[in-house]
Copies of this chain bind each other. A is one copy, B any other.
Amino acid sequence: MSDAATALAQEPSKRRERGGRSARRELRSHGPEGLGRPYILRNIPTYDILSEESLVRIEATADRILAEIGIEFRDDPVALDHWKRAGAKIDGVLVKFEPGMLRELLKTAPAEFTQHARNPANSVIIGGKSVVFSPAYGSPFVMDLDKGRRYGTIEDFGNFVKLAQSSPWLHHSGGTICEPVDVPVNKRHLDMVYSHIKYSDRPFMGSVTAESRAEDSIDMARIVFGEDFVNRNCVILGNVNVNSPLVWDATMTTALRAYARANQAAVIVPFILGGAMGPVTNAGAIAQSLAETMAGCALTQLERPGAPVIFGNFLSSMSLRSGSPTFGTPEPAIGSMVVGQLARRLNLPLRCSGNFTTSKLPDAHAMNEGTMSMLAAVHCGANFILHSAGFLDGLLSMSYEKFVMDADFCGALHTYLDGVKIDDNELALEAFREVGPGSHFFGCAHTMQNYETAFWDSEIADNEPFEKWEAAGSEDAAIRANRRWKRALAEYQAPPLDEAIDDALKDFIERKKASMQDAWY
C-alpha cells in the first residue's frame, strides 16, 4: 500500500455530521487518536486456520471441478467467445478449464485498488490490509420496533443511506440496501443510485439486475465523476451472484462484463447454502465457491485485463429441524476463514459478509450470530464486508434498530483491528513506579494523559449501575437503538452536492424513466 493510502486511512474523516455528542466523544473521533476513518487499516494479523497441505487439497478439488465437471455460461455468447479464445474447452454452454488456466488469467487483476467517493476524503482502498464496512444488501422488507415488518420503500432506502452516512463506523453506502418496492422494478436502480449520490458522499454500488441497469448506474457515476475519470478509476461496484451450483447466467455475466468493460469492480459472489446449492460438507462447499469465483473473476479479466474485481463468497448452513437456511452459524464462520486464505493465495481483494442472522428481532439471537459471523469476516482478512449493518431474518429484512446496533459494533471493531500498541507509554512502567502496590491508577499522571482515548465506548451498551438503569426505565438494547436511529435521522444533514451535477442526474433519470413503460418484474 502506498504511503498516501496509509495517510488517507489514518486521517480522521472530516465530513461526519454528529450533532448531540459530548465533547469527549468529538475529541475521540476527530482528534489525532480519532477512531473514525474512511476505512480501517488492520493492525492485527489474519487468522490462518488451515495448513498449506489442506489448502492445496481444496485448490486441487476446485481445479478438478473446473476441469472435469465444468461451469455452464448460459445465454451469453460473448462470454463463451471469451472462454474459447482463452483456450477453455467449450461444449454447448458448458465450459471446462485446464488446471492453472484461471489462476493465470487472474494475474492481471489488481491486488488492491481505490474506490473513489465523490468526497475524496471518503475514498476507500479495497485490498491489502484495508477493511471496508458496507450495509446489508437486498432485503425486500424493512422493520422497526414501532411499525413492525413491511415492504421497503424508496423512503426507507433513503433513510438507510442517511443512517450509514451518519455513522462514523461505516465506510461505504452499499447498494440495494433494501428493495424499494414502491418503484417499478425496471426503474428502481435509477432512484437507488440517485439516493446514494444525493444523501451520501461515500462510495457506493450500482445495479446488476440487467446489463442496461448496470450501464445506467455507471452512466450516473460518469455524470458525477466525469467520463475520463471513470475510465481510469473505480467509482462504483456491482455485486454479481453465481447461480450455484456451477452456473453463470447471462443476467449476471452481462452485468459483470459491463462493470469490467467500464473499468469498474465487479464483486463475484457464489451464494452456497450447504446441502442445497452445494455439498452439505464444508470443505466441498468451499472448493465449489473457489471454482465459481475464480471463473467469474477471470471473465472480468477477459472483458478488460486489469479491471478491478473482488473475490467474494457467501456460505451458509441449514437447520436440520426446520430445513431452513441458517446464518451466523459456526460452519460458515470457519468457511470464511478458509476462503480468506484462498483469496490471499490468489492475491485478490476479498469480500465477506458479517452480522448475519436468522432472527426476526434485534435480540440476543441476532447479535450472537451476527457477532460470530462479523468476527469471522474480520479475522479472515476480508477487505470489503457486505451486510455489515441491518441484516435480519436471513436477509429478508433490513432492521432500523439492528442497523445502528451493528454500526456500533463496527465501531468496536475499529478498536479491535487496531490490536495492541507496544511502546513505552503503553507499557506504562512509569505508572507502576508512580502508583506502586496496593494503590489505584484513577488520578495518576499516566491515566490522565491516556484515558480520553483509552477505551472503546459503545453508544448502544448501557454500562450504568443496575439501579440507575432501572430508574431510567429498564430499557433493553433494542429500545435504545430505536431512539438512536430516530435521533440520527432527525439530525442528518445532506452532504453538499454540486447543483449542476444534481440537475444532470435528475435529467438523466427523467429521460430514462420516460423511455420505458413501468415493469414490475
Contacts and interface: CB of A to CB of B under 8 A. Distances in A.
Tier of interface size on chain A: 35 or more
Interface stretch (A63-71, A169-177, A299-307, A512-520): A63-71
Interface stretch (A9-17, A419-427, A483-491): A419-427
A415 interface: yes
Contacts of A57: 422, 427
Given A364-B362, A367-B364, A450-B281, A64 B429 contact: yes
A427 B281 CA distance: 7
Q: How many copies does the complex hold?
A: 2
A129 to B, nearest CB: 15
Interface of A: 22, 24, 28, 44-45, 47-50, 54, 57-58, 61, 64-65, 68-72, 94, 149, 243, 245-247, 274-288, 317-322, 324-326, 329-331, 333-335, 338, 358-372, 375, 379, 393-394, 396-397, 402, 405, 409, 412-413, 415-416, 419-423, 425-429, 431-433, 435-442, 446-447, 450-452, 454-458, 460-466, 469-470, 474, 476-478, 481
Contact of A447 (B275, B419, B426): B275
A369 B408 CA distance: 12
Contact of A421 (B280, B283, B362, B435): B283
Contacts of A276: 440-442
A372 B412 contact: yes
Contacts of A457: 319-321, 326
A190 to B, nearest CB: 30
B476 A361 contact: yes
B282 A420 contact: yes
Most chain B CB inside 10 Å of its own CB: which residue of A44, A283, A442: A283
A445 to B, nearest CB: 11
24 contacts: A57-B427, A65-B429, A69-B433, A71-B437, A245-B436, A245-B438, A246-B437, A277-B440, A279-B432, A279-B447, A280-B446, A280-B451, A282-B420, A283-B421, A284-B427, A284-B429, A318-B454, A321-B463, A322-B463, A326-B463, A363-B476, A364-B402, A367-B371, A379-B379
